[in-house]
Amino acid sequence: METLFFLKKVIGSLLAPVPLVVLLLLVGVYLHFVKKNYRNSGRFFLAAVVLLLVFSVPVIPSSMLRPLETEFPAFNDPPIKVDNIMVLGGWNNEDEKLPGISRISSYSLYRAVEAYRLSRVYPEATVVLSGHKINGFELSHPDYMADFLISLGLDPGRIIIRSGSRDTESEALLVKELALGKNNLLVTSANHMERAVNIFDSAGIEVIPVPVGHLTSRGKSISYHIFTPDADALELSEALVYETLGSIWFAMKGWLSGE
């Protein structure tokens, strides 16, 4: 499984939109200038251009990502008993020249703010933070998130930290003892929610999805901008590729383990 995990990371990095296009271009350059194989080099150049357009024209990745992000409806604070507000980990940096809020990635910030809001809606709930610990970093990601939430006014006594995970599957195992038989809200990015729910379900943990940080939206009218290549569209494409590969990996792991 360690080998498969390593392969997942390598393949995921290579198949991300920009690395994939660059890889195709490099192969094309090699074939053109070194091997003098002009026909095949042209094919690689054409493939790179076509993929770049597919990845960067907003209407394409947006249309493909939106069904994933709207799989679960927005959480509207129903009057229910909530034991745990579980927040999946993301990313932060430790650049001391930046204010604390700027050290948190945008998708982690969405999760943190929603967790704080929910902590006020459900004052009896415990906030469970999970995530990784990067070698060389002073704090783990959930420790950093905890400090940020405390700075907003959240009572430290309501926070439980579970650090040491490397992906969503290990996060589910880290919080399992706290979550079994409880009413759990699961806060994570909208595009990641479907896979996260499946992972927690496979671990025997029932959750109520709270999707945040949606990357897609629809207006009342169509703008020409959705047909114009845009660097922001690459973020949508990257999220789509990442979640697709993650789902394939999860299914493959289950198949290999006989589940």
pLDDT in tens, the chain (259 residues): 566 667 777 888 889 999 999 999 999 999 999 999 999 999 999 999 999 999 999 999 999 999 999 999 999 999 999 999 999 999 999 999 999 999 999 999 999 999 999 999 999 999 999 999 888 899 999 999 999 999 999 999 999 999 999 899 999 999 999 999 999 999 999 999 999 999 999 999 999 999 999 999 987 667 888 999 999 999 999 999 999 999 988 888 777 776 5
Q: Which two tokens stand for residue 241?
A: 């590729």
Contact between 111 and 142 (Cβ < 8 Å): no
pLDDT of res. 10? 84
Over the Cα atoms of the chain, what is R_g?
Answer: 21
pLDDT of res. 136? 87
What length is written for the chain?
259
Q: 159 pairs with which residues across the strands?
A: 127
Q: Which two tokens stand for residue 242?
A: 């990442």
pLDDT of res. 2? 60
Read off the amino acid at residue 158. R
Q: Which long-range contacts link 120-125 to residues 24+ away (Cβ below 8 Å)?
A: 121/77, 122/82, 122/85, 122/185, 124/81, 124/82, 125/82, 125/83, 125/84, 125/85, 125/158, 125/185
CA distance 180 to 225: 46
Contact between 103 and 94 (Cβ < 8 Å): yes
pLDDT of res. 130? 97
CA distance 27 to 37: 11
Contact between 229 and 178 (Cβ < 8 Å): no
Dihedral angle at the C-alpha atoms of 95, 104, 244, 65, nearest 10 degrees? -130
SS3 assignment, position 91: coil
Residue with tokens 């195709």: 24
CA distance 199 to 205: 9
Q: Which two tokens stand for residue 175?
A: 């919080």
SS3 assignment, position 217: coil
Q: Does domain 84-212 have CATH number 1.10.10.1100?
A: no
Residue ranges of the chain that CATH labels 3.40.50.620: 84-212
Measuring CA to CA, which residue among 78, 169, 79, 179 is closest to residue 128? 179
pLDDT of res. 141? 97
Residue 194 vs residues 73, 114, 244, 251, 255: alpha-carbon distances, Å? 11, 18, 11, 13, 19
